[in-house]
Amino acid sequence: MQNVISLITSRRYYSTLLSPIFVALFISNSHCSLADNYMDAGSLPEVVQLYIELNFPNHKIVKAKKENGFKRVKYEVMLDSYIELDFDEKGEIIEIESNRGVEIPARALPPFVSAYLEVYMPERRIVEWEKKWNWHKVELDNDLELYFDLKGNFLKKKY
């Protein structure tokens, strides 16, 4: 009887020990199954291609991929100038990041952001822009972050 109890106990021990490992492997493998798919620039949605042509006409796409996440799709595009563009599943721009300090053209941003920067900070360069569910964030070359609501009203600045 003692051997049976020790066997059950040891199996519980190992199952308790292995359960977190199994969960970690499952999540890791799930992430791999939701893997990034690299693609040709011509395979990007038309709206994405048009946005790039209009706002970054002198830049070439060096990398494009489709990220399949949990309940969402995202397109990531890297330009030859080290500017990274992220688009949602509808092809709408959601983030622009300059990885080497290259200026992001103001025309690539919503008009209210461009207008604000032109009036209040014409000497600053834009290095990052991001759109979240209820605000826009702009980061300038002096590490100043500006926040706007979705209607274009200035909310705050932060260093």
CA distance linking residue 40 with residue 64, whole number of Å = 7
- C-alpha dist (Å) from residue 145 to 6, 85, 119, 121: 61, 19, 16, 12
pLDDT in tens, 73-114: 999 999 999 999 999 999 999 999 998 888 999 999 999 999
The percent of residues in the chain predicted with pLDDT above 90, rounded, is: 72
53: pLDDT confidence band, cut at 50, 70 and 90?
A: very high
Regarding the domain delimited by 36-158, which CATH topology (the fold level of the hierarchy) does it fall under?
Inhibitor of vertebrate lysozyme, Ivy (3.40.1420)
Q: Residue ranges of the domains in the chain?
A: 1-33, 36-158
pLDDT in tens, 115-145: 999 999 999 999 999 999 999 999 999 999 9
Is the model's pLDDT at 46 over the cut of 50? yes
Neighbouring residues of 109: CB distance < 8 A, sequence distance ≥ 6? 96, 117, 126, 129, 138
- Identify the pLDDT of residue 71: 78
Is the model's pLDDT at 15 over the cut of 90? no
